[in-house]
């Protein structure tokens, strides 16, 4: 799946909601959300991100296991949104 | 002052009523929701006085599904929820040696788990808004742990710990979480005979019981914009006890 517009929107959402000290354009599609070498998000950021994804895309992440898979990077978030959109369509 | 949407649980009791009235007076545009369950006569009377901006809503604070329905109804009308006051509570005093398990569980469910469910129910909305105020009504019993109140004191002490922990979790999202600990407050639930009242007053440095409005004033302050840097705090309102 490759939807540059959706990915850029996700990156902007990350920057705005989590007040990241970077620009959306600087975030790579495959950079890890959590841990060293990545964006360095923590559990509170994850909580905000889950709420923001639900609010903006109707993407509901109901358990921690699903969150681990979906919130890995921008690619995985975009894939989950597209999967949900296709399922709804 | 921006108009706000405010939910007060336990809104039939003296303190809940005073809190709701205080928010009604704060701004003519505030929208107040009175969470009620077992008793409703006083709350319905108050709602009837300002039907355009004060409404009752069925809410059993011990049930997550009840919270979900109540919050959904509020959001359907206002699309936001700014303030939650977790005020619902009750006590069943007994010495621990003779306290029934049912009494222990019931008081913890109502006073502590009810706060947990309430916070969980409103947090997605407040996180989405990046703004919110949660004020938990604890009790001086949480700090003094009087004999005969092992269940109530443990529950309210739990509320204080929950308050501090949650405050840290959501501080950066613009949500504050604070607690107040009323001491002896002159309400109908303070069932005391004359001798008990006299003894209680002797223990209070101010030599009088508090008024519900004095608790409400503290709650309203913690909910206001100027209190934005206060979070995880416990405010005693007790006339100077200890």
Residue B105 has pLDDT above 90, yes or no: yes
Q: How far is B175 from chain A (nearest CA, A)?
A: 12
Nearest to B169 among A17, A44, A51 (CB): A44
pLDDT of residue A1: 56
* Residue B159 · residue B113 · CB < 8 Å: no
Question: End-to-end alpha-carbon separation of chain A, Å?
Answer: 17
Residue B2 has pLDDT above 90, yes or no: no
Q: Where along chain B do its domains lie?
A: 5-237
Could you give the CA distance from residue A42 to residue A61 in angstroms, rounded to a whole number?
A: 17
* Residue B88 · residue B61 · CB < 8 Å: yes
Residues of B in contact with A52 (CB under 8 A): 128
pLDDT of residue B193: 86
Give the domain extent around A20.
Answer: 4-88
pLDDT of residue B58: 95
Could you give the CA distance from residue A52 to residue A59 in angstroms, rounded to a whole number?
A: 9
Q: What is the rounded average pLDDT for all residues in chain B?
A: 95
pLDDT in tens, B146-159: 999 999 999 999 99
Count how many Cα atoms sit within 13 Å of the Cα of residue B187 in the half-sphere of its side chain. Answer: 20
Distances (CA, A) of A50 to A66, A77, B79, B239: 11, 10, 19, 44
B75 touching chain A per CB within 8 A: no
Cβ of A55 within 8 Å of Cβ of B128? The answer is yes
pLDDT band at A37 (very low <50, low <70, confident <90, very high): confident
Count how many Cα atoms sit within 13 Å of the Cα of residue B101 in the half-sphere of its side chain. Answer: 0
Cβ of B128 within 8 Å of Cβ of A44? The answer is no
Number of domains in chain A: 1
* Residue B140 · residue B182 · CB < 8 Å: yes
pLDDT of residue B14: 94
CATH superfamily of B5-237: NAD(P)-binding Rossmann-like Domain (3.40.50.720)
Could you give the CA distance from residue B92 to residue A57 in angstroms, rounded to a whole number?
A: 47
Query: For B122, which residue in chain A has the nearest alpha carbon?
Result: A51
CATH of the domain at A25: 1.10.1200.10
Integer-rounded Cα Rg, in Å, for chain B is 17
A44 touching chain B per CB within 8 A: yes
pLDDT in tens, B163-191: 999 999 999 999 999 999 999 999 876 77
* Residue B1 · residue B225 · CB < 8 Å: yes
ipTM confidence: 0.79
pTM of the model: 0.91
pLDDT in tens, B195-230: 888 999 999 999 999 999 999 999 999 999 999 999
Q: Quote the crossing angle between the two packed helices A74-88 and A43-57, to the nearest 10°.
A: 30
Cβ of A44 within 8 Å of Cβ of B124? The answer is no
B145: left (phi over 0), alpha (psi -120 to 50) or beta: left
Could you give the CA distance from residue B234 to residue B165 in angstroms, rounded to a whole number?
A: 12
- Tokens 């923001």 label which residue? A52
pLDDT in tens, A42-70: 999 999 999 999 999 999 998 889 999 99
Query: For B166, which residue in chain A has the nearest alpha carbon?
Result: A44
Cβ of B124 within 8 Å of Cβ of A54? The answer is yes
* Residue B152 · residue B110 · CB < 8 Å: no
Q: Collapse the DSSP code of B66 into the 3-class scheme (helix H, G, I; strand E, B; otherwise coil) and give the result.
A: helix
Could you give the dihedral angle defined by the CA atoms of residues B38, B25, B49 and B189, in that order, rounded to the nearest 10 degrees? 30
Question: Counting beta carbons within 10 angstroms of the beta carbon of residue B193, is it exposed (0 to 12), middle (13 to 18) or buried (19 or more)?
Answer: exposed
Residue B57 has pLDDT above 90, yes or no: yes
With CA atoms as reference, report the closest residue to B228 among B180, B177, B194.
B177
The question of whether B152 is a catalytic residue gets the answer: yes
């Amino acid at each position: 799946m490759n939807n540059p517009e959706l990915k850029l929107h996700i990156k902007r959402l990350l920057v705005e909601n989590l007040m990241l000290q970077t620009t959306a354009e600087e975030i790579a599609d495959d950079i890890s959300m959590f841990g060293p070498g990545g964006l360095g998000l923590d559990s509170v950021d994850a909580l905000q991100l889950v709420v923001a994804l639900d609010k903006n895309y109707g993407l509901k992440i109901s358990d921690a296991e699903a969150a681990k898979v979906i919130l890995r990077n921008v690619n995985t978030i975009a894939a989950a949104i597209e999967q949900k959109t296709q399922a709804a369509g | 002052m921006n108009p706000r949407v405010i939910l007060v649980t336990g809104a039939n009791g003296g303190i809940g009523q005073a809190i709701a009235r205080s928010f009604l007076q704060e701004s003519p545009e505030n929208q107040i929701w009175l969470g009620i369950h077992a008793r409703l006569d006083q709350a319905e009377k108050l709602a009837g006085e300002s039907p355009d901006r004060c409404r009752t809503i069925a809410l059993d604070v011990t049930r997550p599904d009840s919270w979900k329905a109540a919050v959904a109804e509020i959001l359907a009308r206002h699309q936001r929820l700014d303030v939650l006051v977790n005020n619902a509570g009750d006590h069943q005093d007994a010495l621990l040696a003779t306290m029934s398990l049912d009494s222990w569980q019931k008081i913890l469910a109502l006073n502590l788990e009810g706060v947990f469910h309430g916070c969980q129910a409103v947090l997605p909305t407040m996180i989405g808004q990046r703004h919110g105020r949660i004020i938990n009504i604890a009790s001086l019993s949480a700090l003094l742990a009087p004999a005969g109140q092992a269940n109530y004191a443990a529950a309210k002490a739990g509320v204080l710990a929950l308050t501090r922990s949650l405050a840290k979790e959501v501080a950066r999202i613009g949500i504050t979480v604070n607690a107040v600990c009323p001491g002896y407050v002159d309400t109908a639930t303070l069932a005391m005979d004359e001798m008990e009242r006299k003894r209680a007053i002797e223990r209070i440095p101010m030599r009088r019981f508090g008024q519900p409005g004095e608790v409400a004033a503290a709650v309203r302050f913690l909910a206001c914009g100027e209190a934005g840097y206060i979070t995880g705090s416990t405010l005693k309102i007790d006339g100077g006890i200890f």
